[in-house]
A and B are shown apart, each in its own frame.
Chain A
Amino acid sequence: MRKAPWRIVGLGLLLGLAVRPSAGAPAPQDPGLKDLYFGEALYHAYQGQFFDAIQRLDTELGQYRGLDEPLRDPLHFHVHDAEFSVGDFELDYRMHHKAGRAIKAVLEGAVDESVRNEAAFRLARIHFQKDQLDDAQQALDRIQGTVPPAIKDDLELLKANVAMATGRPADAVRVLKQAHAGDEDAGFTAYNLGIALFQDGRTPDAVDQLDRAGVLAARDDAGLAIRDKSNLVLGAMLFEAGSLGRARQALDRVRLDGPFSNQALLRAGWAEASAGQFDRALVPWSILVNRDPTDPAVQEAILAVPHAYASLNLHGRAALLYGQALQTLGGQIDKVDASIASIRGGRFLEALVREESRQDETWVIRLRSLPGAPETYYLMELMASHDFQTALHNYLDLEDLQDRLGGWKTGLDAFEDLVRLRGRNYEPLLPEVDARFRALDSRMRLRLEQKRHLGERLQALLTAPRPELLATADERVASESLDRMEKSLGRSNRPDVAMLRTRISRLRGVLSYTLRTQYDDRLTAAWTHLNELNVQVEALERTYESFVRARQAATHSYAGYDETIAGLRFRVGAALQRVETLRTQQGRLIEMVALNQLQARREHLVEQQAQARFAVADSYDRAARASSGPEPPPAPAKAEEPH
């Protein structure tokens, strides 16, 4: 039993296409968004700008972790979401290591059971994607207790995937049998269970399961595609087992306009041919040969159709069709050669980095129609593969990083210029400003000291009244005059002097009376005046603080940046060099992989061409002999059979 090269293509593509696309339905806005910068990170992430999203959120989380009182930061309302989100963004930006570290940090922190379980699930998913199966299983083993409802289905699928990948299909079957898929995912779960049963060696159960999956109702394209895929796989299994009739039935259920129709038509033809019914095999193959000749299934049909005619002893017709096949295959080889030349000329990479390619999610398909782009007919499967997609996206990421770093280099020049100009502006001004400020500062401090002293004295008067301290200027002058007069009277006891002394004493009494009777009012007035001064002092302090801030800002606007800018300039330069080197290496690798792929396809086409060439000659011989005598059996299959 030969393994037919015509099967090379097709099912690999099936696997790629059978992934359910994201629902794409907009989730409602979180009404409780408390941190604007977290919201901003989401804004970038929702647009696929993961670099900006990570940068913003990383900065926010860094600031949050550095706070003495993190509860005062609005991010604390979302901190678990933010930590998961940054891991998600890093994963989407193809930074698995960093994403893993971010999620491990959540896992090891003091968090709720459900948060820890979600973190363990995410960690397991990363390990699984990186083929680190033991680590993935370890992470899954950490999940215990409450699992957030939102991840339940994905967790079951991941458990099944890990079980399959680690050679435990029975465990996968057990998990999938317990899975409660919604209507939307029913087809996927049913298909997955069929595959797990087959892997577990339970082929009859697998056949029954895939048979059920092949008739499930489907509402959308993804559901229809997985149903087609179930039928195609079922048909292939039954075909291998020799149940040609059941294989035909399963293959007939595959839609003619679906993504698996070419493979199904090809296999349906072989099912008929294997039963010796070449005339019936011609029905699906004749449909297939009129489809896109770059499709490998179509190319196989191009050879299978004349093979069927030859088997029906219609050698003249077979010879004619083999001739046409030769032409078609020659045309395809030319196309492959053109693609190879195009890639070697660097046009493949040029096309990949075009802006329109980045904007459009279906760019792989559109690439074929871009003017000046290389032929990518034979690279579609390769380009759909996970590793190649990662490599391509990495290449685009490196392009983006190169642009950013180039921009930053220019930006640093501008910053340096800005700092220099600010320095030139401020440096001559500041000494004079500082000198004036120092003079004003001394005066201000003196006045404030005076005010403080007055306040203290008034405070003292509340407990130990001293009316003379509240005398007016006139009263003080009068009191001093009385002192002087009294002093000038000396110690004389003359009557006129005694009379003067009495008068002075009376006047002093008047003064004293006034001071004592008005003391309370005067004290109140003094407090009022002092408080009125407070308003002025506060305004003065505000101006003072504002000046100090402005003065500091002036210095901060140009001083102390040289080292930072020089350090950044060095790091930007080094990163730019690394990015350029990696980009070149990545580009070369992409080209090399594409070229290897095209070379392999070319070799296969050349092989098919050789078969066709031989078959043309053989068919002409047989046609000639048929016209002159009895017919020997046809030559061994020129179109290779699947068994």
Chain B
Amino acid sequence: MAERVHSRRPWGNAPRVLVVALLCGLTGVAGGAEQKPSDKQQMRGLDEQIQEVKSDVLAIAAELSQLEEKLLYPSGTQVAVFIAIASNDTMRLDSVKLTVDGQLAAQSIYTAKELEALRKGGVQRLYVGNVATGDHQIEVLAEGKRDSGADFSRTERFPFRKDVKPKLLALTLGGTGAGNPPITLGEW
């Protein structure tokens, strides 16, 4: 059963103190950081408007992304490659290079934030492109460091068949073993 997202989320802090103005009353603090009520009201009024505009922009983004997909990656030819790190693997992934049918398709050098996001279970969409229906091959080169500090560099090739519907390929890096981390392919 998937763990609830809220419990693994690194964002947002649950307050651990009672939110009271008690201290101010208790000690006669006039509240130096307090803003005037009119400022607060204005800030909250603007906040409401900003929430609305965010909502509008998100709706535009969704429509644009559909348009982009229809124009650039129609389902008949679409292929997408995703990257994930195996659960509990603490390797430091430095970079991934992807070729599709011998042509360089994507490469990614991972920042600390991106690596952390992968380790927590996030999945990166490394590449979206187009291929004709039929048989193809991807090649993946992953480089980084293992827990022991040893460098690793692993290349794997995976054949796949593109049908009429979009092809989603998920590459999972790492897992058990001390040597080069394995790369496994899953299809969706």
A-facing mask of B101-126, CB < 8 A → 1, else 0?
00000000000011011111111110
Contacting residues, chain B, for A192 (C-beta < 8 A): 16-18
Contact of B64 among A98, A196, A411 (CB under 8 A): A411
List A552-587 residues whose CB lies under 8 Å from chain B.
Answer: 553, 556-557, 561, 564-565, 568, 571-572, 575, 578-579, 582, 585-586
Determine if B58 and A408 form an interchain contact, defined as CB atoms under 8 angstroms apart. no
Determine if A151 is an interface residue (Cβ-Cβ < 8 Å): yes
Q: Would A94 and B120 count as touching, CB distance under 8 A?
A: no
Q: How far is the CB of B51 from chain A (nearest CB, A)?
A: 5
Asked whether any CB of chain A lies closer than 8 Å to the CB of B150, the reply is no
Given contacts A12-B31, A59-B62, contact A195 B70 (CB under 8 A): no
Q: By the criterion CB–CB under 8 Å, are A31 and B76 in contact?
A: no
Residues 1-43 of chain A, each 1 if its beta carbon lies under 8 Å from chain B, else 0: 0011101111111111011111010111111110010011011
Query: DSSP majority for the A interface?
Result: helix
Looking across the interface, which residue of chain A has its beta carbon closest to that of B111?
A: A47
Which of A27, A40, A571 lies in contact with B60, CB distance below 8 A?
A571
**B49: A residues at CB distance < 8 A:** 582
For A572, give its contact among B60, B74, B188 (CB under 8 Å).
Answer: B60
In the complex, chain A residues whose CB is within 8 Å of the CB of B30: 3, 5, 7-8
Q: Which chain A residues in 375-395 approach chain B with CB under 8 Å?
A: 381-382, 384-385, 387-388, 390-391, 394
Contact A148–B84 (Cβ < 8 Å): no
Are A33 and B17 in contact, CB atoms less than 8 angstroms apart?
no
Return chain B residues, CB-CB under 8 Å to A236: 23, 26-27
Q: Is B8 an interface residue (CB 8 A)?
A: yes
In the complex, A330 has a CB within 8 A of chain B: no
**Is A419 positioned at the interface, with any CB of B under 8 Å from its CB?**
yes
Most A-side CB within 10 Å, residue of B44, B51, B63, B77: B51
Number of interface residues of B (CB under 8 A): 88
CB distance from B18 to the nearest CB of A (A): 5
Q: How distant is A168 from chain B, measured CB to nearest CB, in Å?
A: 12
Q: Which residues of B contact A296 (CB under 8 A)?
A: 32
Is A513 an interface position by the 8 A CB rule? Answer: no
Tell me whether B58 and A81 are in contact (CB under 8 A). Answer: no
Is B168 positioned at the interface, with any CB of A under 8 Å from its CB? Answer: yes
Point out the residue from B9, B28, B33, B67 that lies within 8 Å of A3, measured CB to CB: B28
B147 at the interface (CB under 8 A from A): no
Instruction: Say whether A46 contacts B116, CB under 8 Å.
Output: yes
Task: Provide the residues of chain A in CB contact with B50, threshold 8 Å.
Answer: 94, 394, 397-398, 582, 586
Binary A-proximity of B35-73 (CB < 8 A = 1, otherwise 0): 110011011101111110111111011111111101100
B11's partner among A26, A30, A33, A92 (CB-CB below 8 A) is: A92
Evaluate contact between B58 and A415: CB separation under 8 angstroms.
no
CB distance A564 to B13 under 8 Å? Answer: no
Q: Is B5 an interface residue (CB 8 A)?
A: yes
Query: CB of A44 within 8 A of chain B?
Result: yes
- Give chain A nearest CB distance to B176 CB in angstroms: 13
A475-523: which residues lie under 8 A (CB-CB) from chain B? Answer: none
Smallest CB-CB separation from B118: which chain A residue?
Answer: A43
Closest to B168 in A: A36
**B169 closest partner in A (C-beta):** A36
Closest Cβ of chain A to B22, distance in Å, is: 6
Instruction: Please name all residues of chain B whose beta carbon is closer than 8 Å to the beta carbon of A285 when the two chains form the complex.
Output: none
Quote the shortest CB–CB distance from B27 to chain A (angstroms): 5
Determine whether B178 belongs to the interface, using a CB cutoff of 8 Å to chain A.
no
Chain A residues whose C-beta falls within 8 Å of the C-beta of B82 in the assembled complex: 36, 39-40
Min distance, Cβ B122 to any Cβ of chain A, angstroms: 3
- Residue A322, interface by CB 8 Å: no
* Nearest Cβ on chain B to A212's Cβ, whole angstroms: 16
Contact A46 B122 (CB under 8 A): yes
Given A22-B13, A236-B26, A571-B60: A164 and B20 within 8 A (CB)? yes
For residue B4, CB closer than 8 A to chain A, the reply is: yes
> Cβ of A283 < 8 Å from any Cβ of B?
no
| Cα–Cα distance between A572 and B46 once the two chains are bound (Å) | 20
Interface size class of A (residues with CB under 8 A): 35 or more
Chain A residues contacting B61 (CB-CB under 8 Å) are 51, 55, 404, 408
The answer to whether A91 and B12 have CB atoms under 8 Å apart is: yes
Q: Which of A7, A39, A51, A549 contacts B84 (CB 8 A)?
A: A39
Q: Are B74's CB and A40's CB within 8 A?
A: no
Chain A nearest CB from B81 CB (Å) reads 10
| Minimum C-beta distance from A407 to chain B (A) | 10
Question: B85 in the interface, Cβ–Cβ < 8 Å?
Answer: yes
Q: A46-B10, A408-B60 are in contact. Are A32 and B1 (CB under 8 A)?
A: yes
B33 CB, nearest partner CB in chain A, Å: 4
The answer to whether B188 and A74 have CB atoms under 8 Å apart is yes
Instruction: Report if A401 contacts B (CB, 8 A).
Output: yes
Residue pair B71, A15 in contact (C-beta under 8 Å):
no
Distance between Cα atoms of A415 and B65 in the complex (Å): 12
The answer to whether A88 and B5 touch across the interface, beta carbons within 8 angstroms, is: yes
Q: A226 near B: Cβ within 8 Å?
A: yes
The answer to whether A387 and B10 touch across the interface, beta carbons within 8 angstroms, is no
Task: Among A46, A546, A549, A592, point to the contact of B120 (Cβ < 8 A).
Answer: A46
Q: Is A198 in the interface zone, CB < 8 Å from B?
A: yes
Interface contact A568-B67, CB-CB below 8 Å? yes
B11 touches A45 (CB 8 A): yes
CB distance from B152 to the nearest CB of A (A): 19
- Complex Cα distance A98/B118, Å? 27
The answer, among B40, B55, B122, for a CB contact under 8 Å with A39, is B122
Q: Say yes or no: A160-B26 contact (C-beta < 8 A), given A33-B123, A78-B2, A585-B46.
A: no
Interface residues of B in 145-165 (CB under 8 A from A): 164
Interface residues of A in 336-389 (CB under 8 A from B): 381-382, 384-385, 387-388
Binary per-residue interface labels of chain B (164-187) against chain A in the complex, 1 for a CB within 8 Å, 0 otherwise: 100010100000000000000000
The interface of chain B, by Cβ under 8 A from chain A, is 1-20, 22-24, 26-36, 39-40, 42-44, 46-51, 53-58, 60-68, 70-71, 74, 76-77, 82, 84-88, 113-114, 116-125, 133, 164, 168, 170, 188
- Which positions in A face B, CB cutoff 8 Å? 3-5, 7-16, 18-22, 24, 26-33, 36, 39-40, 42-48, 50-51, 54-55, 58-59, 62, 74, 77-78, 81, 84-85, 88, 91-98, 118, 122, 148, 150-151, 154, 157, 160-161, 164-165, 172, 185, 188, 191-192, 195-196, 198-199, 222, 226, 233, 236-237, 240, 296, 381-382, 384-385, 387-388, 390-391, 394, 397-398, 401, 404-405, 408, 411, 415, 418-419, 546, 549, 553, 556-557, 561, 564-565, 568, 571-572, 575, 578-579, 582, 585-586, 589, 592-593, 596-597, 600-601, 642
Q: In the A-B complex, list the 10 residue pairs whose CB atoms are closest, starting with the nearest.
A: A43-B122, A39-B123, A27-B8, A381-B33, A46-B117, A29-B121, A29-B87, A20-B16, A188-B16, A8-B32
A39-B122, A98-B55 given; 7 more Cβ-contact pairs under 8 Å = A47-B113, A74-B188, A195-B17, A237-B26, A390-B43, A546-B133, A596-B39
